[in-house]
Structure 1
Amino acid sequence: MLKDHIIHLAKLGYPLTRSDVLQIATQTAVFLKVKEDPSHLLSQHWLNGFLSRWLELKVVRPSKLGMKCAKAITKESISKYFNELNNILIKYELKDKPHLIFNVDETGFNFEHRPTKVVAPRGIKVNAITTDKGAITTILAAGNAVGYAIPPYFIFKGKHMIERLKAGAYPGSGFEMTSSGWSNGEVFINYIENHFTKYLPVRDPNQHILLLYDGHTSHISLNLINNAQSKKIILFVLPPHSSHLLQPLDVATFKPLKDFYHHECQTYMRKNPGQVITRYEVCQLISKAYLKAFTPSNLIASFRKSGIFPYKKDVIDEHHFLGDALRPKVPGPPPDTPAANSDYRKFLDHLLPQPKPIETKKRKVGYRPGGVAITEEKIILKIKKVIQEKESVNKKKINPQQPQKEPSYEELDTSSSDESEMSEGDVCCICKRFSPPTLRGVLRRQVTFVDWGQCSCGHWTHLQFCVPENVDEIMNAGDFSCPHCKGEE
Structure 2
Amino acid sequence: MAGIDWLDGFMKRNETLSLRTPEATSLSRATSWHNVDTFFNNLQTVLERHEFPPEKIWNLDETGCTTVQRPNKVIAKTGAKQVGAIVSAERGQLVTLCCAVSATGNTVPPMMIFPRVNFRDHFINGGPPGSVGAAFPSGWMTSDNFMVFMKHFASHVGCSPTNKVLLILDNHDSHISIEVLDYAKANGIVMVSFPPHCSHKLQPLDRSVYGPFKRYYNTACDAWMLNNKVKTMTIYDIPPIVGQAFPRAMTPANIQSGFRVSGVYPFDRDIFDDSEFMPADVTDRPIARADEADENTSADLNAPSTSGSSTPLVNKQLSASTSVTPISPEVIRPFQKAAPRKRKGGRKLGRTRILTDTPEKMEIEAAANKRKKCCVKQKAKVVKKIARPAPVVVDNESSTDQESSFEEDSSDPGDDCIGQIDAGDFVLVKFIGLLLKCC
TM-score of the aligned structures, taking structure 1 as reference length: 0.66
Structure 1 range deviating more: 115-124 or 82-91: 115-124
Deviations 1:401-447 (A, max 9, x none): 16324312479xxxxxxxxxxxxxxxxxxxxxxxxxxxxx9754xxx
- What CA deviation, in whole Å up to 9, does each residue of 1:109-152 have, x standing for no partner? 11111111223444545321111132211111111000001111
1:299-378 equivalence runs, <5 A: 299-321=255-277, 322-327=279-284, 330=302, 333=313, 357-362=338-343, 365=346, 370-378=351-359
Aligned partner of 1:236 in structure 2 is 192
2 CA distance for matches of 1:50 and 1:280?
53
SS of residue in 2 equivalent to 1:255: helix
Residue range with higher mean Cα deviation, 163-172 or 308-317: 163-172
Structure-1 separation of matches of 2:70 and 2:347: 40
Partner of residue 101, structure 1: 57
Output the CA distance in 1 between the equivalents of 2:376 and 2:229: 59
- 1:143 matched to 2:101: yes
Q: How far has the Cα of 1:366 moved from its partner? A: 5.9
**C-alpha separation between the residues in 2 aligned to 1:162 and 1:69?**
39
- In structure 2, what residue type is equivalent to 1:381? M
Note if 1:92 corresponds to 2:73. Answer: no
SS at match of 1:48: helix
Matched with 2:367 is 386
AA of the residue aligned to 2:83: V
Contact 2:159 2:188 in 1 (8 A): no
1:159 aligned residue: 117
How far 1:188 sits from its partner (Å)? 0.3
Q: Which amino acid aligns with 1:188?
A: F
Q: Which amino acid aligns with 1:376?
A: D
Structure showing greater Rg = 1
> Is 1:110 equivalent to 2:66 in the alignment?
yes
Q: Is the 8 A contact 2:282 2:335 kept in 1?
A: no
Corresponding residue number in structure 2 for 1:342: none
* Partner residue, 2:130: 172
Query: Sequence identity, in percent?
Result: 27
Q: Which residue of the partner structure matches residue 4 of structure 2?
A: 44
1:367·1:382 contact (CA, 8 Å) conserved in 2?
no
* 378 and 356 in structure 1: CA distance in 2 versus 1, 3 angstrom threshold: closer
For 1:143 and 1:298, the matched residues in 2 are separated by 10
Give the distance between the partners of 1:359 and 1:370, measured in 2 at CA: 16
* Change in CA separation of 1:360 and 1:104 when aligned onto 2, cut-off 3 Å: closer
User: Following the alignment from structure 2 to structure 1, what is the Cα–Cα distance between the partners of residues 355 and 303?
Assistant: 39
Which AA in structure 1 matches 2:84?
A: N
1:274–1:384 Cα change, 3 Å: closer
RMSD over aligned Cα, in angstroms? 3.0
CA distance 1:238–1:406, shift in 2 (3 Å): same
Could you list the runs of 5+ residues in structure 1 that have no partner in the other structure? 1-40, 338-344, 412-440, 445-489
Between the aligned partners of 1:328 and 1:211, the Cα distance in structure 2 is 30
| 2:104–2:252 CA contact under 8 A, matched in 1 | yes
How far apart are residue 234 of structure 1 and its match? 0.5
Report the secondary structure of 1:319's partner residue. helix
Name 2:392's counterpart in structure 1: 407
Question: 1:129, 1:243 → 2: CA distance?
Answer: 33
Residues 443 and 160 of structure 1, relative CA distance in 2, 3 Å threshold: closer
Equivalent residue, structure 2, for 1:417: none
Q: Is the 8 A contact 2:164 2:190 kept in 1?
A: yes
SS in structure 2 opposite 1:316? coil
Aligned twin of 2:156: 199
Counterpart of 1:67 (choices 27, 48, 55) is: 27
Distance change (3 Å), C-alpha of 1:47 and 1:238: same
TM superposition shift of 1:171: 0.7
CA 1:54 to 1:220, structure 2 compared with 1: closer, same or farther past 3 Å? same
Amino acid in the other structure paired with 2:87: T
Question: What secondary structure is seen at the aligned counterpart in 1 of 2:41?
Answer: helix
1:285 aligns with 2:255: no
- How far is 1:355 from its partner? 6.4
SS at match of 1:261: helix
Structure 2 counterpart of 1:266, one-letter code: D
Provide closer, same or farther for how the CA distance between residues 49 and 167 of structure 1 changes in structure 2, counting only shifts above 3 A: same
Q: What secondary structure is seen at the aligned counterpart in 2 of 1:176?
A: strand
Opposite residue 236 of structure 1, the aligned amino acid is: V
- Assess, with a 3 A threshold, how the Cα gap between structure 1 residues 256 and 91 changes in structure 2: closer, same or farther: same
Distance 1:256 1:217 in 2: 27
Other structure's SS at 1:108 match: strand
One-letter code of the match for 1:166?
A: I
Partner of residue 81, structure 1: 39
- Count of residues in Structure 1 that have an aligned counterpart in Structure 2: 357
SS in 1 for 2:128: coil
Q: Distance in 2 between matches of 1:117 and 1:251?
A: 22
SS at match of 2:392: coil
2:211 alignment counterpart: 255
1:127 matched to 2:79:
no
Residue of structure 1 aligned with 2:252, choices 284, 296, 299 = 296
Relative distance call for 1:359 and 1:235 in structure 2 (3 A) is closer
Distance verdict in 2 for CA 1:120–1:395, change over 3 Å: closer
Q: 1:50 to 1:183 in 2, by over 3 A?
A: same
1:84-125 alpha-carbon deviations (Å, 9 max, x no partner):
11000110111xx10000011111111111111223444545
1:59 Cα offset (Å): 1.8
**1:55 Cα offset (Å):** 5.8
Structure 2 unaligned segments of length 5 or more: list them.
287-301, 305-312, 319-328, 397-435
Q: CA deviation at 1:323?
A: 2.9
Q: Distance in 2 between matches of 1:138 and 1:396?
A: 34
Q: Classify the secondary structure of the residue corresponding to 1:383.
A: helix
Residue 456 (structure 1) aligns with: none
Structure number with the bigger relative contact order (C-alpha 8 A, sep ≥ 6) is 2
Go from structure 1 to structure 2 and tell me whether the alpha carbon gap of 1:119 and 1:93 turns closer, same or farther (over 3 Å shift): same
Which amino acid letter does the alignment assign opposite residue 408 of structure 1? Answer: V
Q: 1:175 Cα shift?
A: 1.2
Contact 1:137–1:154 (Cα < 8 Å) also in 2: yes
Q: Helix, strand or coil for the counterpart of 2:123? A: helix
Which digits, 9 at most, give the CA deviation of each residue in 1:264-290, with x for residues without a partner? 111122233333322221111112111
Give the drift of 1:211. Answer: 0.4
The alpha carbon displacement at 1:394 in A equals 4.0
